[in-house]
Structure 1
Amino acid sequence: MNHLKRIEQRDAARDIQAELLEGLQEMAADMPAASHRITQTDVALARQKAQMSQASFAKTLGVSVRTLESWEQGARRPSGAARSLIKLFIKHPEFVREALS
């Protein structure tokens, strides 16, 4: 989950209010907004390695698709139990998928 920790550290240093005001000012001035690269989270990586859709991965983890989406986007963090399963999916996706089927 080192990647998630880096995302949290990056976001902790952000001034969201200033970014929003800057974006509004750019829109008002008809300037193109700055683009931000969205990086893949460990949750998305685990789902891809398991070769599962969001719906089936969410069901396997026992969460809603909406919750899974927020994890993949880095907006929220999975619980401890979910983090453990996600780590297993990254290391041994076939084993976990078969064991939980």
Structure 2
Amino acid sequence: METTLFDDLVQSLKEARAISKGEAPASRRFEVTPPDARAVREQIGLSQSEFASLMQVSVKTLQNWEQHRRHPTGPAAALLKIVSSAPEVALKSLHA
């Protein structure tokens, strides 16, 4: 390996360590916030049990999202975003 390439790699690792320890700011940061679960549910006019069934989560999980005790992550957050932006398409696809 070229010494300049190795030196760049070592420098990158040092920067990553400093960022992870909070000693240096990250050069870029992306935060994706899922839509408000209650607002999405009310937008499409479903009860908590109907919406939980649609999202394939328990009613308790949905209640935790709606009361902001927990936040949807991963596929659930993506599905909430789809349902909020294209509710007709999402409902048609999920009920098929």
Q: Considering only aligned residues, what root-mean-square deviation do their CA atoms show, in Å? A: 1.6
Aligned twin of 1:76: 70
Deviation, 1:87, is 0.4
Residue identity (%): 36
TM-score of the pair, normalised by structure 1: 0.58
Q: Which runs of 5+ in 2 are unaligned?
A: 1-31
Aligned twin of 2:14: none
Aligned twin of 1:43: 37
**How does 1:7-86 map onto structure 2 within 5 Å?**
42-86=36-80
**Greater RCO (CA < 8 Å, at least 6 residues apart):** 1
Deviation, 1:89, is 1.1
**Does 1:90 find its partner at 2:84?**
yes
8 Å contact 1:44–1:72 — kept in the other structure? yes
The one-character-per-residue Cα deviations of 1:7-49 (angstroms, maximum 9, x if unpaired) are xxxxxxxxxxxxxxxxxxxxxxxxxxxxxxxxxx611111111
Matches of 2:71 and 2:50, distance apart in 1: 19
Matches of 2:45 and 2:71, distance apart in 1: 21
Q: Which runs of 5+ in 1 are unaligned?
A: 5-40
Aligned twin of 1:37: none
TM-score of the pair, normalised by structure 2: 0.61
List structure 1 runs of 4+ shifted beyond 6 angstroms: none
How many positions carry a matched residue from both structures?
A: 64
